[in-house]
Structure 1
Amino acid sequence: MADVRARIASRACPPGTRLPSVRAQAQAMKLSVSTVLEAYERLSAEGVLTSRRGAGFYVAGTVAPLALAAIGPKLDREVDPLWVSRQSLETDDATLKPGCGWMPTSWMYEEGVRRALRAAARADGSELTEYGPPLGLPSLRQHLSRRLAANGIDAPPAQIMLTDSGTQAIDLICRFLLEPGDTVLVDDPCYFNFHALLKAHRVTAIGVPYTPTGPDVEAFRAALEAHRPRLYITNSGIHNPTGAVLSPVVAHRVLKLAEGHGLTIVEDDIFADFESAPAPRLAAFDGLERVIHIGSFSKSISASMRCGFIAARADWMEALTDLKIATTFGGGRLAASIMLSVLTDSGYRRHMEAVRQRLAEHTATTIARLKPLGITPWLVPQAGMFLWCRLPTGVEAAPVARRCLQDGVVLAPGDAFSLSRSAGNFLRFNVAQTDDARIFTVLSRALAQAG
């Protein structure tokens, strides 16, 4: 009964769908015929199914609301991407969050945001009340064009569209390029909300193992040949969750394979301002021909003031703009104006320099505090806030996370990031969120119980 309900909730079985025969279902689930018949009859009594004499059982009613958690295999809540996100977002300030993906408030450029807000309050009333133009604030797009050029990406303002966030940018691209049933490649491991977002678009996600220099090229080639994907979504600056950096050699090989298979690449560059030295960008090598470059400022400036962007080929911009109007109408004019003020504030560059130095120090400190617990980094990242760490041999991250949550510590278990569920003994740590010594006390206790 639970299996049938899950298939209906995920829309795998819409109203009117004929269920497998009692005998076929019994064989598939290795149950007795009488057990399956009893389940079907009970669901019919509840109004979930209808029975047609001589024809079998059918799904009744109207289309069920989409339930993302019901799509795909049933996961332990500790490694369900939606559950991990909710634990980080919904818990109060007393909860410690070394598993979350953002910096503490005290690390953000709050002073610059307040200064920009005061300036916005004195601006013309249209800044506060009017819709923004479909592509977004022209002056911010001009500024972004110059920023991208510094990383070798030639993106004129007419090829840049502002969005409400990096997540909305990917959502628009998926709406633009994908149909339900298409296949998308992601890194394994990758940012776990990619998994949830692709579920919402009813597409099949395939993981490609990620190495310290980028995706495993041979596995990437095999996935292209076996699955014929439409998209590949990745980070090429600072990778989430591993902290790895794409190498130029791997970048060229990936682009060559993408060209040969008609693959479009979405390059998420949300951590650009955390780099101490610029990493290779796929969009720079490709010239935005088959790479779509996206970013936002949620991690470096403000997650409350939502603002992101898409940089794409010129002949796609009109259709992307129409899609943005259809789904969100006007852009966030106030947020864009504030972001421009912050980005052009002389203090922002100095602030990010201080953040990068602080992250480097916290990375070293966190590695040192994890070492006595037998937790070791997969690699020591060049920059950024994440440490992708292996637990002691035989210890699984999900039960450790469950125990730590009971003591007010939110962790990010490795399998939340891994489609193949091959990272069960990994945790992602956010070094900016590891100041409190209680984290390591709670973690030590949980590891002892796990052992």
Structure 2
Amino acid sequence: MTRTDELVDDVRRRIASGQLMAGERLPSVRRHAIAMGVSPSTVVEAYDRLVAEGAIRSRPGSGFYVAGASTPFALQEPRPDFERAVDPLWVSRQSLDADAATARPGCGWLPADWMPDEALRRSLRRVAKGGLEGLVDYAMTRGSAALRRTLARQFSQEGLDIEPDRILLAVSGTQAVDLVCRFLLQPGDTVLLDDPCYFNFQALMRAHRVKVVSVPYTPSGPDPERFAELAREHAPKLYLTNSAIHNPTGATPSPAVLHRLLLAAAAYDVTIVEDDIFADFEPEPTPRLAALDGLERVIRVGSFSKTLSASARCGYIAARADWIEALIDLQVATNFGGPSPLVTDIVQGVLADGSYHKHVLALRGRLAKRRKEVGAQLDAMGVRPWTQPRGGFSLWCRLPDGRDATDLAKAALRDGIVLAPGNVFSPSLGAPDLMRFNVTQMPAVVLDWLRRTLSAPI
């Protein structure tokens, strides 16, 4: 605790105990500094903090006075909503609002201690020591040129050769998808989604008031024959999917499936949005729709929230040059520019100094070990993986004895555990006995709860 903290706490205690009454004048800065054996600047900082929190008031030319009694704002702490319908927003709401004591094997992110904290702190210190503009200015319309150049070099290594000006930085991966939807869709249009798919894709499509048609997802990717049939029948404007490590299944589309998808998309004039947010979890890169297509009808989006920081949020869009220009206008209209320069400079700093590459390599190995450990324990309970993912932190599993995943998730929430039941991922509600488990968010207490609950009679 600093001396400033001590002074602030001392004044608070004296007010709470009645030693200082409402309206009473506090000692002057100089007198208080002498009495407490600190510098005047320390007292000024303490008084300023107390003014900011409303405990005291400043009267220019007169001094500082204890504030009158006031009724504090009644803030309701977020609590689990046991009555809320288990829909595509259920897992997000319960996970984001959970307190520190709640286990969250249903959430879609890594624990804080899996993230590169020292690299982030170094980058933050470098940014803080830099020019004032990065701390106070708006972003350029395309976002940080340095970060876009870094992304372009990364894409080139994957076989996607584009100029940095064909990359637009966004506030997050979700905002990137939202911008694309604003650009390409009108209410009533049809969109193809995988079944199952990332649940927030469904929530976002609902917000855009479009019709969703689902494409069955297999261990080798979306069913290409069914994709072509649905594209011909429904004339969708857009197909939104995960590449590489699919969410929630963990499957990786085969090259043959990707090729057939592109042929069908071209035949029926379907634009594809390829969300590549889990790309860096892959042990070895696999083909991407964006690289195979050259960004003619494929738009690539992604972010660093899963591998670097969900607090320093920064997404990106890679697309045709004319589409990027239109998306810039939309981002200016809806957000007055891209992500904070403070955030993009932090991300760029971690990517540029080599620490991100080392972090990702270590992360892949740690995740492989954890998937194996948790998978073995789930298997002993009769919980079977739908497929064996090549990377990432999720296991998409079938529950034993036809157990209803939604009922299980509701019971778990009452015991302080947030699970992700299968039907929140399925537009057709065709996954009642499936569950997505985040292996990094499964302490012993969760595994013990599952073991007890699944062994009990239905």
Q: Tell me if TM exceeds 0.5.
A: yes
C-alpha deviation, 1:82, in angstroms? 1.1
Matched, 1:81 2:84: no
Matched, 1:257 2:261: no
Aligned residue in 2 for 1:426: 434
Aligned residue in 1 for 2:107: 100
Aligned residue in 1 for 2:378: 370
Aligned residue in 1 for 2:307: 300
User: Residue 173 of structure 2: which of 132, 143, 166 is its match?
Assistant: 166
Matched, 1:182 2:189: yes
The CA distance in 2 between the partners of 1:401 and 1:420, in whole Å, is 19
Matched, 1:133 2:157: no
User: Residue 287 of structure 1: which of 294, 298, 304 is its match?
Assistant: 294
Question: Residues 405 and 411 of structure 1 are in contact (CA less than 8 Å); yes or no, is this contact kept in structure 2?
Answer: yes
Q: What aligned pairs does 1:38-437 form with structure 2 within 5 A after superposition?
A: 77=84, 79-331=86-338, 332-434=340-442, 436-437=443-444
Q: Could you report, residue by residue, the CA deviation over 1:167-210 in whole angstroms, capped at 9, with x for unpaired residues?
A: 00000000000000000001000100000001000001111010
C-alpha deviation, 1:77, in angstroms? 4.2
Instruction: Note the aligned Cα RMSD (angstroms).
Output: 1.1
Gaps of 5+ in 1: 1-75
Q: Give the length in aligned residue pairs.
A: 375
The CA distance in 2 between the partners of 1:380 and 1:77, in whole Å, is 32
Q: TM-score, normalised by structure 2?
A: 0.81
The CA distance in 1 between the partners of 2:287 and 2:432, in whole Å, is 30
Aligned residue in 1 for 2:32: none
C-alpha deviation, 1:226, in angstroms? 1.5
Gaps of 5+ in 2: 1-82
Q: Could you report, residue by residue, the CA deviation over 1:87-140 in whole angstroms, capped at 9, with x for unpaired residues?
A: 110011111111110000000111111111101110000010001110111111
Q: Which amino acid aligns with 2:321?
A: A
Tell me: CA distance 1:450–1:153, structure 2 relative to 1, closer, same or farther (3 Å): farther
The CA distance in 1 between the partners of 2:212 and 2:116, in whole Å, is 36
**Bigger Rg, which one:** 2
Q: Could you report, residue by residue, the CA deviation over 1:306-351 in whole angstroms, capped at 9, with x for unpaired residues?
A: 1010000012121111111000002221111111001112222111
Identity of aligned residues (%): 55
Q: TM-score, normalised by structure 1?
A: 0.82
Question: Residues 243 and 279 of structure 2 are in contact (CA less than 8 Å); yes or no, is this contact kept in structure 1?
Answer: no
Q: Could you report, residue by residue, the CA deviation over 1:54-81 in whole angstroms, capped at 9, with x for unpaired residues?
A: xxxxxxxxxxxxxxxxxxxxxx946311
Q: Which amino acid aligns with 1:349?
A: H
Question: Residues 78 and 398 of structure 1 are in contact (CA less than 8 Å); yes or no, is this contact kept in structure 2?
Answer: no
